Amino acid sequence: MRILPPFTALLVLAGSAVAQQFPGDKKYGEYYDEKKQWSEQEVAFPAFPQPADLIEFDAGAASRNRHYVDAATLTVGGDRVVRYVVVIKTPGGATNISFEGLRCEARLGRHYGFGRADGSWAKARQSDWKALRPDSYQSVLSKEYFCPGQTPIFKAEEGVDALRRGGHPLARGVE
């Protein structure tokens, strides 16, 4: 009878050691199933747009406004966000300027800030990522220029080329 309690204690200790997991205990491939958490990089406002850097794009028949992207501000971040300044001119003569970003894979857009008449930037009050509206100019920029197949362009030059051509070749299924 005296042998039973120490034997039981050994079984309890062995059971707790087996239940404990160590980093090397995962089988091959288990790490690949874990999703990485996306995080956005820090962003600073770009230089204010200059007329010579503006490239007009077709935002669709739903708008009578003229839409431009400032080629000098187009970037693709390490976080895979395509950022740019867009300038919108209305038929009545008003001009709206905004610094924006697109998350291609998620089809989300964000406003970072808006241009003021004195050439400075005002930070956007509501700057959350939001789903792109199907009829918006952001959706057109995403589908036709900066995110063909919901994949971000690799570099700014690719986006500038797409703007100058009137669309990204892969957006039309042509290579």
pLDDT tens by residue, 33-55:
456 687 888 999 999 999 999 99
- Map residue 94 onto helix, strand or coil: coil
Q: Write down the mean pLDDT value for the chain.
A: 85
Could you tell me if residue 161 is inside a domain? yes
Could you tell me if residue 44 is inside a domain? no
- Please compute the mean of the pLDDT values over residues 25-32 and round it to a whole number: 55
Could you tell me if residue 112 is inside a domain? yes
Could you tell me if residue 7 is inside a domain? no
Please say if the pLDDT value at position 62 is more than 90: no
CA distance 162 to 145: 6
Instruction: Please give the residue that has the higher pLDDT: either 35 or 76.
Output: 76
Could you tell me if residue 17 is inside a domain? no
CA distance 103 to 123: 19
Please say if the pLDDT value at position 120 is more than 90: yes
162 band by pLDDT with thresholds 50, 70 and 90: very high
Could you tell me if residue 175 is inside a domain? no
- Please compute the mean of the pLDDT values over residues 149-153 and round it to a whole number: 93
- Residues paired with 130 in a beta bridge: 109
CA distance 136 to 64: 12
- Please compute the mean of the pLDDT values over residues 76-87 and round it to a whole number: 96
Could you tell me if residue 46 is inside a domain? no
10-19, 75-84, 111-120 — which is least confidently predicted?
10-19
11-25, 45-59, 99-113 — which is least confidently predicted?
11-25
Please say if the pLDDT value at position 17 is more than 80: no
| Number of domain units in the chain | 1
Could you tell me if residue 34 is inside a domain? no
Structural domain for 99, as ranges = 51-170
pLDDT at position 122 is 96
Please say if the pLDDT value at position 9 is more than 90: no
113 band by pLDDT with thresholds 50, 70 and 90: very high
pLDDT at position 147 is 96
Closest CA to 162 of 147, 149, 150, 151: 147
- Residues paired with 68 in a beta bridge: 56, 87
CB 85 within 8 A of CB 133: no
